[in-house]
Structure 1
């Protein structure tokens, strides 16, 4: 199993030394204002690959509600996926709560169709770039739509494109008391996994049911990657123990 970490490319050497196999930066970091050739050079020299990216759509680019501009979204998505591909990316995580949250008073049915339309357009751009999308369910404190793995799968099925898959995030699942065995019921759609521990701190520091979660993942033959997305108190100090914990639990999971 490949374990990675959601962090900036500037932390790749610390991540590599700790034992992580990849880093997962933000799509926003590819739009930092620097000349893109400079960003490409940073990635090439990083020492770890960046097969996955998160923080896809900025909050000011609305995906649901009366302010949606699909043409503007398409320009952003096309350029983002082009840049992701150019630095070795294969998969983009679609969380983007600020962009997808349904405005108060707006029709949920209309918003759901807007999500389908957005992901359909994104799938067209995925076909051109070769990059895929993982829908990320977010807990109810962070988003008012797509709050469970099952709901993410429902949306992916509605879009019905090979490039649109689903992510399972142990933190969001635990926050909303979502059963860990949902990864079994929805295994065919899972392409990526995020993990943290109690309080969204680093793996191994809390009480999240890692043994059970990894057991269910293993039982499905899950072959994607697992990335830590958490709040680090001291990344350089905590990264190594976090990787060691994940490997130990994964190896012991039946």
Structure 2
């Protein structure tokens, strides 16, 4: 199992010194719609990171809608082609598809049609991800952040419907707790869960709240999950808390 943290690449040295295994940055920070010349300086920053960038979240900008009446399929295809190729070039292999602003259904829009559009989007993404050996994990978001894909079973339903090797699911402790989703879903859908996000009460750092970590850890271990776990939270004092959170998670998972 590897422990990482969601942060901007400028925090890479702090996470490296704290002892993390990897950093999880954002796809949008790679500026997929910018030119190759503009990307070169961004790439250099990632190449100089002392800690591996193994996963990326925030796949889509909020204005790149994948559902509704204003879907620009050509822009989506061009964006995915550039974004996923750049993710590969910085060394990451896992992409988190949360992007609530891009995927939420417009008011009054057909849910059936919206689901069809999400499936279509996932196929377009898989067309690029499959040959690059990338994995896209569908992230369930709580109902305050999105009105579709709000649970692990729902994310898995989409992954099953698309049925492509690159499309899997993510479990996020914070989103599950916000919507009172049973943690047992982690075990029940273990074959599809390929990435995990964690936080604690109020979406602050692990070990600072009252989340039932012992239950969560037991289910992750029962699932024989041995992949990556990323902290995705708000921080009061980043440099201090990242060290404390790492020690807390290592203690919970009994990692030396």
Note whether the superposition's TM-score is higher than 0.5: yes
Structure 1 alignment gaps of length 5 or more: none
**Shift in Å, 1:96:** 0.2
Distance apart, 1:179 and its partner CA: 0.8
Q: CA deviation at 1:40?
A: 1.8
Aligned to 2:2: 2
Q: Which residue is 1:146 aligned to?
A: 149
Distance 2:66 2:46 in 1: 29
Structure 2 unaligned spans of 5+: none
Choose from 59, 76, 80 the match for 2:79: 76
Contact map agreement 1:211 1:250 (CA 8 A) in 2: no
The answer as to 2:217 corresponding to 1:214 is: yes
The equivalences for 1:106-121 within 5 A come to: 106-121=109-124
Matches within 5 A, 1:1-254: 1-31=1-31, 35-251=38-254
Supply the distance in 2 between the matched residues of 1:127 and 1:194 (Cα, whole angstroms). Answer: 23
2:95/2:135 contact within 8 Å kept:
yes
Number of residue pairs the alignment of both structures matches? 252
TM-score scaled by length of structure 1: 0.97
Deviation readout 1:108-159 (Å, 9 max, x if unpaired): 0000000000001110011232211000000001100000000000011011
Cα RMSD after superposing both structures: 1.2
CA distance in 1, matches of 2:251, 2:181: 24
TM value normalised by structure 2? 0.96
Q: Give the Cα–Cα distance (whole angstroms) in 1 for the partners of residues 139 and 219 of structure 2.
A: 19
